[in-house]
DNA sequence: TTAGACGTTCAAAGCGCTTTCAATTTTGAC
DNA sequence: GTCAAAATTGAAAGCGCTTTGAACGTCTAA
């Protein structure tokens, strides 16, 4: 069923039917109802493609997910983020198109999206330090919002980020207050912007408390269980091992815990652990009392909000950039305790 | 830049330019090269919408991800599956559109996709017992393939599945051979088809070996860490607790391990664990020696293959249905050992 | 020389919608 | 009952592409 047939069935012009369905005021309520009824009955809904052609909008948002070419790891937070964003799109009649792409060829993907006008805007995931995508998108004039920030970007742009620096500052301070002096950091990849900020927060807290920063206690890699395990094992094998470890995700924290137990130690007693918790739906941090002490911020909620920001960006382009900085909660769980006496 | 402008610049008709770019034979090589060069230079690529309108194809595949309305859990395997499928689509010039939807309103989503012709086909995720989506899609004539199978479906349809029944049969047999007699099962939700098949495999193995099936040893729920933990704790608290536990995902297995250790027991010595491992990129099962003994099958590879099946389905609709049954490997890790003597 | 064949190009219609501008009907004030 | 204004409807153009059917040269064979 298409507009033409529907309007013929109703004995109306395509114009009127189109207007009736799109809520234009110059249609009498009587005919509007008649049209709506018929549309329902014949299960008519307009072709997105034709509508897009006619209006010049795609009614679609692009998400380009970078697959780090070396590791082929899909960022585990992405599913929940997308779920959040998807809710917003559904509510507003937008579709979401997803592209998984090796980080080496992102540029051509964005250019393509723009020149074939297949999306009205994009969400930039996993921004890196001095991310090239931001100037690129500004240049080609494709509306975008960034999940995170990119240190080094000069022009203004819209972003939503967690206050990673403060979160890790607070977490480190929390450990220091418990008497810990040797604190390890198992971070995301160093060129990721969030990892940089977290490290800064961590280092600031140490410095402010007169603790010398020891590069041997810092590791960075993909946020997988295996990396968490491997790095923790390495840290615990040091001549002067840390009494506490901070990790960048619940998943690597699980790896850390495994390594701690492999070493015959007890998490929360011998080695404290604080992690960042993205509140992934399939990876709760304990039922009642949190297992891990964690800096906590829902990535799903971030998805919802960021999608909303993008839609307003698209619908009123001259509003200027929007910036949202979410504060992470610091939830105390069972993985932290006072530094063991020597 | 659009076709009209490009062809004007070249002093050619839209027809010729279109044909040149789409590889039609009736264009001389000289002009084809000239056109290609210009298209490159002006960074021209055709509007998907217009192309879709003109050809009647959407060049897009829909993935509808059900969010169980009770739990709001995003299936953790979905990110890796999508990554696999995405590779196939990218290679073939298709886009992927994603819809997250409460499982109660899936039907209207599929109908909508079809009537507005926004996709050429869909992938059905997480099929349930007697899944209603299969007859629905057959009825409306939207090409589809299923990731998994749906017991109870009468008409033929294309699917790709892991041999869940045999995998769990083998795993259970493996435990029985190690002397285990009380084996717990922590399964996915019971109305999921894969969970049903796994339970059947498990029960068959027990029965064939003269072990009575004990419903108190069987649990099912979302495949989260918390459920794995809770159910394992319940099982271990039974008057006559199991000496081995089978779980449906690495994530719930991690929960199981936590519960085992909370109880002061050692996994692999006091309680054996076998899990299914979907080979998620962010959740490796150990580096060298697997942590968990596991039935193993890459969901990313499944995504790649299933997408390919769908594309052939779309491009040659009258080929009949395709069915692929993948066998899971049984990888022996450190989480299993002989049943403890009483 | 001419007709047919071939290789190459083009004009125009059409895909399903929106939207401008014009036409028609209804309403309300006189 | 009349007429302008308001309300309602419609014809047609246009969005950017593909594709049909026709046209134009150029060759080849008779």
d(CA A79, CA B89) in angstroms, rounded, equals: 19
> In terms of Cα–Cα distance, which of B240, B231, B233, B227 is closest to B264?
B233
Which stretch of A74-78, A323-327, B311-315 has the lowest confidence by average pLDDT? Answer: A74-78
Cβ of B74 within 8 Å of Cβ of A79? The answer is yes
Chain A residues within 8 A of B101 when measuring between CB atoms: 90
Q: Show the tokens assigned to A272.
A: 């404290």
d(CA B184, CA B200) in angstroms, rounded, equals: 14
d(CA A319, CA A156) in angstroms, rounded, equals: 12
d(CA B236, CA B248) in angstroms, rounded, equals: 18
Q: What per-residue confidence (pLDDT) applies to A327?
A: 98
Q: Which numeric CATH code is attached to A164-298?
A: 3.40.50.2300
DSSP 3-state of B79: helix
Q: Tokens 């105390």: give the residue.
A: A332
DSSP 3-state of A129: coil
Q: Which numeric CATH code is attached to A60-162+302-326?
A: 3.40.50.2300
The band of B72, judged by pLDDT with boundaries at 50, 70 and 90, is: confident
Chain B residues within 8 A of A65 when measuring between CB atoms: 83
The band of B294, judged by pLDDT with boundaries at 50, 70 and 90, is: very high
Cβ of A281 within 8 Å of Cβ of B86? The answer is no
Q: Show the tokens assigned to B84.
A: 């696999």
Nearest nucleotide over every DNA/RNA strand to the A13 CA, judged by C1': D10
Q: Show the tokens assigned to A67.
A: 């697959």
Which stretch of A147-156, A190-199, B95-104, B227-236 has the lowest confidence by average pLDDT? Answer: B95-104
> Could you give phi then psi for residue A158, rounded to 5 degrees?
-90, 135
Size of interface A-B (CB pairs under 8 A): 162
Tell me which residue in B1, B96, B284 faces A97 most closely, judged by beta carbons: B96
E strand or H helix at B55: helix B48-55
Cβ of B283 within 8 Å of Cβ of A47? The answer is no
Interval B253-271 mean pLDDT: 94
B238-B244-B248 Cα angle (round to 5) = 100
Strand partners of residue A98: A63, B96
Q: Show the tokens assigned to B324.
A: 């692929």
A264 CB closer than 7 A to any strand D atom: no
Cβ atoms of residues A255 and A273 within 8 Å: no
Does pLDDT of B203 surpass 80?
A: yes
The band of A70, judged by pLDDT with boundaries at 50, 70 and 90, is: low
Does pLDDT of B71 surpass 70?
A: no
Cβ of A96 within 8 Å of Cβ of B99? The answer is yes
Q: What per-residue confidence (pLDDT) applies to B36?
A: 94
B22 CB closer than 7 A to any strand C atom: no
Residue B315 contacts by C-beta under 8 Å, 6 or more apart in sequence? none
Nearest nucleotide over every DNA/RNA strand to the A26 CA, judged by C1': D8
Q: What per-residue confidence (pLDDT) applies to B69?
A: 64
d(CA A52, CA A59) in angstroms, rounded, equals: 7
Tell me which residue in B58, B80, B117 faces A74 most closely, judged by beta carbons: B80
Q: What per-residue confidence (pLDDT) applies to B284?
A: 87
pLDDT (tens digit per residue) in A125-153: 999 999 999 999 999 999 999 999 999 98
Nearest nucleotide over every DNA/RNA strand to the A1 CA, judged by C1': C16
- Residue B2 in contact with partner chain A when CB distance is under 8 A: no
Distance, CA of B28 to C1' of D25, in Å: 14
pLDDT (tens digit per residue) in A249-300: 999 999 999 999 999 999 999 999 999 999 999 888 987 889 999 999 999 9
| Rg (chain A; Cα; Å) | 25
> In terms of Cα–Cα distance, which of B312, B281, B304 is closest to B87?
B304
Q: Show the tokens assigned to B27.
A: 């264009």
Q: What per-residue confidence (pLDDT) applies to A208?
A: 98
Q: Show the tokens assigned to A12.
A: 């109306």
Q: What per-residue confidence (pLDDT) applies to B259?
A: 95
pLDDT (tens digit per residue) in A147-161: 999 999 889 999 999
d(CA B110, CA B119) in angstroms, rounded, equals: 10
Tell me which residue in A76, A99, A115 faces B44 most closely, judged by beta carbons: A115
Q: What per-residue confidence (pLDDT) applies to B75?
A: 84
The band of A103, judged by pLDDT with boundaries at 50, 70 and 90, is: confident
Q: What per-residue confidence (pLDDT) applies to B181?
A: 97
d(CA A330, CA A138) in angstroms, rounded, equals: 36
Does pLDDT of B70 surpass 70?
A: no
List the 37-66 stretch of A: residues with Cβ below 8 A of B. 43-50, 52-53, 58, 60, 65
Strand partners of residue A62: A97, A122
Residue B275 contacts by C-beta under 8 Å, 6 or more apart in sequence? B246, B247, B248, B249, B250, B252, B253, B256, B292, B293, B294, B295, B335
Does pLDDT of A247 surpass 80?
A: yes
Q: What per-residue confidence (pLDDT) applies to A335?
A: 97
d(CA A217, CA A187) in angstroms, rounded, equals: 11
CATH 3.40.50.2300 residue window(s) in chain B = 60-162+302-326, 164-298
The band of A71, judged by pLDDT with boundaries at 50, 70 and 90, is: low
Mean residue pLDDT of chain A comes to 93
List the 83-142 stretch of A: residues with Cβ below 8 A of B. 83, 86-87, 90, 95-101, 111-112, 115-118
Cβ atoms of residues B282 and A225 within 8 Å: yes
């Amino acid at each position: 069923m298409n507009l033409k047939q529907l309007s013929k069935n109703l004995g109306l012009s395509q114009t009127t039917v189109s207007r009736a369905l799109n809520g234009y005021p110059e249609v009498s309520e009587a005919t509007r109802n008649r049209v709506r009824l018929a549309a329902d009955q014949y299960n008519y809904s307009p072709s997105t493609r034709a509508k897009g052609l006619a209006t010049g909008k795609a009614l679609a948002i692009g998400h380009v997910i970078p697959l780090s070419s070396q590791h082929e790891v899909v960022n585990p937070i992405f599913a929940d983020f997308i779920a959040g964003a998807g809710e917003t799109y559904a509510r507003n009649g937008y579709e979401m198109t997803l592209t998984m792409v090796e980080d080496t060829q992102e540029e051509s993907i964005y250019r393509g999206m723009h020149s074939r006008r297949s999306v009205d805007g994009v969400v930039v995931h996993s921004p890196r330090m001095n991310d090239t995508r931001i100037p690129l998108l500004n240049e080609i004039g494709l509306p975008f919002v960034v999940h995170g920030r990119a240190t080094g970007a000069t022009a203004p742009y819209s972003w939503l980020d967690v206050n990673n620096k403060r979160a890790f500052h607070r977490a480190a301070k929390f450990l220091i207050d418990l008497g810990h002096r040797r604190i390890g950091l198992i971070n995301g990849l160093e060129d990721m912007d969030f990892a940089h900020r977290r490290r800064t927060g961590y280092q600031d807290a140490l410095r402010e408390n007169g603790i010398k920063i020891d590069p041997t206690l810092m590791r960075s890699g993909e946020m997988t269980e295996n990396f968490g395990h491997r790095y923790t094992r390495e840290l615990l094998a040091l001549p002067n091992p840390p009494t506490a470890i901070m990790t960048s995700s619940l998943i690597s924290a699980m790896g850390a815990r495994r390594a701690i137990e492999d070493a015959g130690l007890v998490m929360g007693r011998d080695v404290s652990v604080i992690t960042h918790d993205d509140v992934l739906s399939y990876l709760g941090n304990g039922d009642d009392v949190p297992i891990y002490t964690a800096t906590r911020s829902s990535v799903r909620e971030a998805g919802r909000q960021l999608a909303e920001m993008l839609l307003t960006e698209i619908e009123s382009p001259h509003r200027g950039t929007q910036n949202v900085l979410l504060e992470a909660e610091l939830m105390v769980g069972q993985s932290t305790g006072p530094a063991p006496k020597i």
